[in-house]
Amino acid sequence: MNLIRASSRGDITTVSALLKEGADINAADIYGRTALIEAAWGGHEKIVKLLIENEANVNFSDNSGYNALMRASEQGYSDIVSLLIKNNANVNCRGKVKGTTPLMLAAEQGYVDILKLLIDGGARINDADQFEETALSRAYRSEQIEAARYLESKGGRGKPERSSYMYNDKEYLNFKESALSNWGSDFSDPGLEDDDEPVQDDSFEE
């Protein structure tokens, strides 16, 4: 078993043995993924820590531009996110296809604890992807209201996309009223304009 596979499986015994044997810690597979990326993606905190202690490149990205921080952020592994940030992971890194950031990934999954870690670590809250979506607009589109409100409290901006919330839903209406007051006249109700449909992209993003 090689280092990448052992890390993805959470096999710390094999990982330790391979490192002692001199395995290339930053070797990548055909997808450009390293042992650290796989360990972070799988939530294997002890292995992430061990790899970092052995000088794994925390900012190495795979073929799609995703790195360990992005994988941990999208999966909700706050302890790993914190560990990576403390070891100089770039909180404003981006995927190659859509320009996705760790903050956007955490926002659309509703991981408020990770949003806090990233923002405290210097993440730019209003960066936009190639479709002009920010972390806030992604949170809104994914109906992650708590995350959206947190981002808004930190100065987050971004036009909300269509939501499937029913318009008699009290929570949605209250949030929309707040959005109207904060985003101004360029805000359009995300359920009334057919030409405001979000772009459908079935390709493999990263």
Please report, for residues 23, 55, 135, the alpha-carbon distance to residue 46 in angstroms, rounded to integers and kept in the order given.
Answer: 18, 14, 29
- Mean pLDDT, the chain, rounded, equals 84
In a domain, 121, yes or no: yes
Confidence of residue 160 (pLDDT cuts 50, 70, 90): low
**Domain containing residue 178: CATH number:** 1.25.40.20
DSSP, collapsed to helix, strand or coil, labels residue 186 as helix
Domain count, the chain: 1
- Average of per-residue pLDDT across 42-61: 98
Position 7 scores a pLDDT of 97
Confidence of residue 158 (pLDDT cuts 50, 70, 90): confident
Q: Give all strands (DSSP E) within the chain, no chain letters.
A: none
In a domain, 126, yes or no: yes
In a domain, 204, yes or no: no
In a domain, 42, yes or no: no
Number of residues written out for the chain = 206
* 39 token code pair: 């360990």
φ, ψ of residue 186 in degrees (nearest 5) = -80, 0
Burial class, 106, CB count within 10 angstroms (exposed 0-12 / middle 13-18 / buried 19+): buried
- Residue numbers of the domain that contains 97: 91-184
- Average of per-residue pLDDT across 143-148: 96
CA angle 188, 128, 74 (to 5 degrees): 105
Q: 124 or 176: which carries more pLDDT confidence?
A: 124
Residue-wise pLDDT for 98-108, tens only, equals 999 999 999 99
Tally DSSP H helices, then E strands, for the chain: 11, 0
Position 139 scores a pLDDT of 96
- Average of per-residue pLDDT across 12-32: 97
- Average of per-residue pLDDT across 34-60: 98
In a domain, 50, yes or no: no
